[in-house]
Amino acid sequence: MKTQMMVALTVFLISASVFSITGRDNWETIKSSTEVQIQQPTFAGVFGPKGLFNACFTDEEFKSKTPVTNCLSYRQVVVDSPTGPHKDYICSELESRNVTISRTYTQEECVKHDRSGECLEYDSVTSVYPTSFYLVVIEPGGGQSGNFIFSKPYTISACD
């Protein structure tokens, strides 16, 4: 019995210390951690690797706080590997610029359902992206989307 309790306590202490990052930590601490990843809305990718953390907002648009570097063209190269040479592509021309996107977007949504819940009518609906999001923090490598650890609110700052 004593051995079982010691094993259970050891497992608990190991699992409790696997992630030192919690939802109580500030975003700077969470972003700098190498043990977690932050999932952001798809559109956040236009602001570079930092996503929403590199964005500010006005009434009409989101803007990048710092320039975002994008590859404009690629060139093909042959790379030697243990399995033999293969073709790959590397960036041959970079562009660094500030990015803006509209806060409004249009998407097709169901506007009329039948009694069973099946959609009867679709229409284009215009919406405005919010400035506050719940971002999900995950353990990387835990399946296709990682293992959920916690979610935490993040509010994009207003542009100066």
Q: Is the pLDDT of residue 130 over 80?
A: yes
What is the model's pLDDT at position 146?
Answer: 80
What is the model's pLDDT at position 142?
Answer: 63
What is the model's pLDDT at position 8?
Answer: 44
Q: Is the pLDDT of residue 143 over 80?
A: no
Q: How many CA atoms lie within 13 A of 4 on its CB side?
A: 1
What is the model's pLDDT at position 153?
Answer: 97
Of 16 and 73, the one with more pLDDT: 73
Chain segment 2-60, per-residue pLDDT in tens: 444 444 444 444 444 455 899 999 999 999 999 999 999 999 999 999 999 999 999 99
